[in-house]
Chains A and B, each alone.
Chain A
Amino acid sequence: MVLPSSHSRAGAVADLRYSILSLVAQSFRGNTAWRPVWREPEPKPAYDVVIVGGGGHGLSTAYYLAKEHGIGSIAVVEKSWIGSGNVGRNTTVIRSNYLDHANIPFYEWSLKLWEGLEQDINYNAMVSQRGVLMLYHSDAQRDALARRGNAMRLNGVDAELLDRDAVRRLVPILDFDNARFPIHGGLLQPRGGTVRHDAVAWGYARAADSRGVDIIQNCEVTGITVENGRAVAVETTRGKLHARKIGLACAGNSSRVAALAGLRLPIESHVLQAYVSEGIKPLVPNVITFGAGHFYISQSDKGGLIFGGDIDGYNSYAQRGSTPMIEDVMEGGVSLIPTLSRLRMLRSWGGIMDMSMDGSPIIDKTPIEGLYLNAGWCIGGFKATPAAGWCFAHTIARDAPHELNAAFRLDRFAAGHLIDERGAGAQPNLQ
């Protein structure tokens, strides 16, 4: 069933390795000799593994399936163009400053993969470890962050508890003496930071393509064929693709795609917005999260301030939000950094989030054989891109989760093993 020719790299457009020499050579040719960095193959009738969703998670899964597990015949099918979903809409923050014992090792592995990613895939993703600072505004918050920092350190993650003066030296522009929410200090993870999000999609796409993965864009999955309890094929707008295994990585659309196989998920889709100001000179040196409201901010290399807050809070598949949340986020921002009120906001946009009911993700097999699920990332799945792909690839290839994603089970809701670290989930009827 599986076509052997899929091992060969038809066209092999990605053979060019980027280096200082390749850049110089290209510039002498007036930058006219650059070629597309991945192929645009026609879908084949059959693959070993088909991944649904060409976001960060789908592309990294395909890459690690090929690289770590030697799977030769893989397709990633994407309904639009790759990077059109949340991987290109997020605020680019990466960190591993978690508290729960199920989360810390997973997110730390992700941060380690980020640290080696650009060498691994030979692509500049502008990984910038500028530090992530969580502020505290009361004694109780300091105790909670001290506990978090200790949990991180026990797991080998870097964490420093800073007092007010140390935070002031780092970021003098904050409103330290705010009457309601004075800043008492912060928990710094120096290795956290930001990554250029589009480059993550493109870099993984190029690296996966060069290992023979077919990236098939403008190809929406419209059906999943299940025979005798086993998923055997996906129907798409570009024909039927048979597969021995099918992995779903559809971010905000997980419920809809899983429903094609008759599954009902503990997930609601919600809209989350992001905002960018006009470009200014360096003002915000790292990623800062406000402890007294839902607001966080960093500054891009172009100079724009990038910030965000909460989900709008109601089911949505529209990739745009509403004005009350914009107002709420701006209020949070101006409380933390009063000088923001002098800036103009350039743009805002929305992305559709899979809000799982406990705020934590799912990387698991499903009750349907041959069908695997990566979903429920809520508002924080960008930082997970490398480890989610790595663990999902392991789960698909070995038919069992890796130790790192063993807690991210689909059946944990029925079993009562929720992950007690609220990344802010949806609306379970708990009362």
Chain B
Amino acid sequence: MRIPCPYCGERGNAEYAYLGDAGVSRPQTPLGAALEGATLDAWMNYVYLRDNPAGAHRELWYHASGCRAWLIVTRNVSTHEILNVEAANGAIRDGRVGAL
């Protein structure tokens, strides 16, 4: 599998590290002592639960052996086809990803 980095061009996947689903976002409320209710649910969703779809998946990759940029890669996880790649910092600025 090869991932096109917006800065370095297409590189083998061994150059990258993987962090998983980019769609989950870190809750704003600290968990504190809230071991039930909406806060717990929000943290459960963020820390552990995943949609784990079989088609297109938006996920975070880190170009560790390259430019060290975080990327949001949209990939068909059933065929390994890369559908879209963008730098994660832009998406964070626009509020489209909250995972980092």
Contact = CB atoms under 8 A, between A and B. Distances in A.
B26 A429 contact: yes
B20 A265 contact: no
Contact of A324 (B12, B46, B57): B12
B47 A430 contact: yes
Interface string A311-331: 001111110001010000000
| A-side interface size class | 20 to 34
Contact of B51 (A255, A318, A426): A255
A316 B80 contact: yes
Interface residues of B, number: 31
Nearest to A357: B48
A351 to B, nearest CB: 14
Q: What 6 A-B pairs come out closest when comparing CB atoms?
A: A324-B14, A255-B52, A427-B20, A266-B48, A317-B78, A317-B54
Interface of B: 1, 12-14, 18-21, 24, 26, 35, 40, 44-54, 57, 59, 75, 77-80, 99
Nearest to A416: B35
Contact of A265 (B1, B52, B59, B79): B52
A267 interface: yes
Contacts of B49: 264-266
A413 interface: yes
A317 B79 CA distance: 8
Task: Kindly name the residue among B14, B24, B35, B52 whose own CB sees the greatest number of chain A CB atoms within 10 A.
Answer: B52
A24 to B, nearest CB: 49
Contacts of B21: 268, 315, 427
B59 A315 contact: yes
A414 interface: yes
A136 B82 CA distance: 40
A259 B12 CA distance: 33
B47 A317 contact: no
Given A267-B52, A318-B80, A313 B44 contact: no
Interface string A394-427: 0000000000000000000110100000000011
Nearest to A316: B77
B97 to A, nearest CB: 12
Interface string A294-323: 000000000000000000011111100010
